[in-house]
A and B are shown apart, each in its own frame.
Chain A
Amino acid sequence: MTATQLDALRKSSTRQWKEGSIHGVLMTSALLSILTTVGVVAVLAAESSTFFREVSPVEFLTGTKWTPLFDPPSHGVLPLLCGTGLIAVGSGILALPIGLAIAVYLSEMANRRRRRIVKPMLEVLAGIPTVVYGYFALTFVTPCLRWLIPSTEVFNAAAGAIVVAIMILPMVASLCDDSLQAVPASLRQAAYSLGATPREVSVGIVVPGALSGILASFVLALSRAIGETMAVTLAAGATPRLTLNPLESIQTMTAFMAQVSSGDAPSGTSQYNSIFAVGFLLFAITLFMNWLAQRVLHRFREAYE
């Protein structure tokens, strides 16, 4: 190779520097998010281990009374778990079918114009701050419930579940819509060419074809419901109670953490440490659910390849 040829092909140091710096910036951002996660897990683990030196994990996981502020305190997390479960199940019962129905409507039945109207409306719903939902529950949903069923308590799980359902509805609808849209148009055509009606095409072909994506969006929405804090703190109250009655006041795991961290527990006490134990459990639950959603989605991808 002659010198001129090599000159034409020589590596440019400016370009290398530019590429390198971009690479560095991007990698730093990625590292930052990994480090944050690692940090959160480390703090949670460290602080909960202090807690578990005082309270046995068995007592924590199986105890039926949560009274960390009493003397002597009782640290059974089941009432909080139950409260969280009530909110998650209640909001799921409402939001999942309605969200799926909206998605089927948007994806399969609505014309382009209606789609253009409904989609942004859902997005607005998703953009409302959660504290607004909390006050909406207190000042509107609960009065309605009390008018219907007078025995309803002022703070109650049902109102919390209803507003959380409204909060997760856009997410369910939008994720389900995405997975319905991912079903190839050729399958719809095949179904129509067999003399199917739009309803039969949606129910018999498109929804089953998108099932994994739909299930994954359900799991993600539920994990969002489990993590929701502000609205349930305001609406459902602060009474850790092992109950399945949605009209009673309860306390969720998140609401407890918000309550304690917003003031009265001095750092280092077992009350203070208990929020980390609860947080750790909450983290484990949502992590598990996200993992589940990933698993389900993975099966979905395989389906069309």
Chain B
Amino acid sequence: MTDAAPGPTQPTEGRAGPDVQVEAAFTCRGLTLGYGDHVVVRDLDLEFPEKRITAIIGPSGCGKSTLVRTLNRMNDFIPSFTKAGTCLYRGVELYDPSLDPVLLRRQVGMVFQKPNPFPKTILQNVTWGPMINGYTGDLRELAVESLQKAALWGEVAARLDQPALSLSGGQQQRLCIARTLAMQPDVILMDEPCSSLDPVSTSRIEELMDSLRERYTIVIVTHNMQQAARISDLTAFLEGGDLVEFGDTDQIFTRPLYKRTEDYVTGRFG
């Protein structure tokens, strides 16, 4: 696995890198991440194309979360976190000392593994982010729009002033997505957003992601192979600290180049 060379969007047989015509939202070059002396992923080269869904798969502990948390600088809160190499967001080094992570996170939103709505009302959950960021339009209108995009509006329209914690787990996760959408981000990072949800809620979230395709750059970490295969355009497979393979989802799941990838996606690992 070497550099992912830009090329046409259609899957092309026998290529290691994804064929990407569109611009890259993130470009990682020689990216090494770790905690203290412990190196988690080393020397990553990959690109997350704009307006595409890129899935990151791999066994647990292989550094998927570490990688996505790097993309919106959420690792800043872990004192022992270390990083070497470059990671560009639209051509700008993410860890440039003059870059303000607060402003970055307004453009690069995140949905977490466990739904984490604020202990506020449903409406306040969606409006809080835009409010603190000085949104000048009609907050309620924005909230309605975001809830609609997150496929939650029908279920909460009549109860906007009720506590968000009164919603079911699946609804809470869609609320968290609505909250992220209300920030009008460019990128949405999702770290195993369905891992605590039942199958029905999971398929609702997948439908929702499908509806967001082409409008947002989405990076989703998932340990669910079928999910990655169903929803993503590109798939990156991490294992043992390496990016084993990165390519069009179709190719990764049907014609993987490497034995390690094949073993993992077909469930013959460990």
Chain B residues, Cβ within 8 Å of A194: 105-106, 109, 128-129, 132-133, 179-180, 183
Contact of B102 among A184, A197, A205, A208 (CB under 8 A): A197
- CA distance in complex: A49, B234 (Å): 83
Q: Chain A nearest CB: distance from B263 CB in Å?
A: 34
Chain B contacts for A197, CB-based, 8 A: 102
- Which of chain A's residues have a CB closer than 8 A to the CB of B116? 184, 186-187, 189-190
Residue B200 at the chain A interface, CB threshold 8 Å: no
Q: Mark B116-154, 1 if CB is under 8 A from A, else 0.
A: 111110000000110011000000000000000000000
Contact partners of B118 in chain A: CB under 8 A: 187, 190-191, 205, 209
The A interface, classified by DSSP as helix, strand, loop or mixed, is helix
Report the bound CA distance from A187 to B128 in whole Å: 13
Given known A186-B112, A186-B114, A303-B165, contact A193–B105 (CB-CB < 8 A): yes
Q: How far is the CA of A197 from the CA of B106 in the complex (A)?
A: 11
Contact status A195-B105, CB under 8 Å = yes
Chain B residue nearest to A198 in the complex (CB): B102
Residues of B within 8 A of A187 (CB): 116, 118-119
Which residues 138-176 in A have Cβ within 8 Å of B in the complex? none
In the assembly, what is the distance between CA of A191 and CA of B74, in Å? 11
Complex: A204 Cα to B120 Cα, angstroms = 10
Contact B74 A189 (CB under 8 A): yes
One of A195, A205, A209 near B133 (C-beta < 8 A)? A195
Contact call B112/A190, Cβ cutoff below 8 A:
yes
Distance to closest chain B CB from A200 (angstroms): 5
Q: Which 9 A-B pairs have the closest CB atoms?
A: A195-B106, A194-B129, A193-B110, A186-B116, A195-B105, A190-B116, A200-B132, A303-B119, A209-B119
The distance in angstroms between the C-alpha atoms of A187 and B116, with both chains bound, is 6
- Chain A residues with CB under 8 Å of B109's CB are 193-194
B16 at interface, CB cutoff 8 A: no
Contacts of A17 in B (CB 8 A): none
Q: Considering the complex, give the chain A residue whose CB is closest to the CB of B163.
A: A303
Residues of B with C-beta under 8 A to A193: 72, 74, 105, 109-110, 112, 180
**Which residues of B sit under 8 angstroms from A200, Cβ to Cβ?**
132
A192 at interface, CB cutoff 8 A: yes
CA distance in complex: A200, B105 (Å): 14
Which listed residue, B77, B102, B165, touches A195 by the CB 8 Å rule?
A: B102
A61 CB to closest chain B CB (Å) equals 41
B106: chain A residues within 8 A (beta carbon): 194-195
User: What residues on B are CB-neighbors of A186 within 8 Å?
Assistant: 112, 114, 116
Cβ contacts B168-180/A at 8 Å (1 or 0 each): 0000000010011
B103 CB–A CB distance under 8 Å: yes
From residue B39, how far is it (CB to closest CB) to chain A in Å?
Answer: 24
Q: With an 8 A cutoff between CB atoms, is A304 at the interface?
A: yes
What residue in chain A is nearest B182 (Cβ atoms)?
A194
Cβ–Cβ < 8 Å partners of A189 in chain B: 74, 77, 110, 112, 116
Cα(A258)–Cα(B144), bound, Å: 63
A260 within 8 A of B: no
